[in-house]
């Protein structure tokens, strides 16, 4: 009986230790460093988002053939002249997998870089320098499958 009770509690302690280790080494769940400061900036960020949406610009992000491409068009469908584009790929659950790439001018007003994100769900944050006071910012959730945007 002593052996059975010892084995039972050994399993319980081992599982608890494993779960605690996994919890401390995976995603922290932290979205912002300081929630109070973030709440103070909410209205300003919302106003900036509405002003950007009022431009009526349409973006085009593609991932295919080992290449990430991005272009931006105004409300009339004409290409917007960009001075630089950065794309941050964030994994929704693991900050350790986040990385950023800088796209270079490829043709016309389309920017590109040789890169294939791993398959799975990503949050793509695009910052495009269009000569405005702040970069044109777009955040979208994407799914990459077989090296292509779905």
- Report the chain (150 residues): mean pLDDT per 10 consecutive residues: 96 96 78 85 91 93 91 92 93 84 89 90 93 90 89
pLDDT at 33: 81
pLDDT at 86: 96
pLDDT at 114: 93
Helix (H) or strand (E) holding 13: helix 2-25
Measured distance CA(74)–CA(128) in Å, rounded: 13
Q: Strand locations in the chain, DSSP E?
A: 58-64, 67-73, 84-90, 99-107, 110-114, 120-129, 136-145, 148-149
Contact 87, 103 (CB under 8 A): yes
Instruction: Report the predicted TM-score, pTM, of the whole model to 2 decimal places.
Output: 0.75
pLDDT at 59: 93
pLDDT at 53: 93
pLDDT at 31: 74
Measured distance CA(30)–CA(67) in Å, rounded: 31
Show the DSSP H helices in 55-108 as ranges: none
- Closest C-alpha to 99, from 110, 113, 109: 113
Cα 117 to chain centroid, rounded:
11
């Amino acid at each position: 009986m002593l052996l059975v009770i010892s084995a039972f509690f050994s399993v319980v302690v081992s599982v608890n230790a494993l779960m605690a280790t996994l919890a401390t080494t995976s995603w922290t769940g932290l979205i912002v460093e300081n929630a109070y400061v973030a709440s103070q900036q909410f209205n300003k960020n919302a106003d900036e988002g509405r002003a950007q949406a009022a431009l009526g610009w349409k973006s085009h992000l593609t991932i295919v053939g080992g290449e990430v491409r991005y272009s931006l068009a105004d409300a009339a469908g004409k290409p917007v002249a960009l001075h630089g584009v950065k794309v941050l790929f964030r994994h929704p659950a693991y900050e350790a997998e986040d990385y950023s790439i800088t796209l270079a001018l490829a043709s016309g007003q389309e920017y590109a870089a040789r890169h294939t994100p791993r398959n799975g769900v990503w949050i793509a944050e695009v910052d495009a320098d269009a000569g405005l006071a702040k970069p044109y910012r777009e955040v979208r959730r994407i799914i990459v499958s077989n090296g292509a945007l779905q």
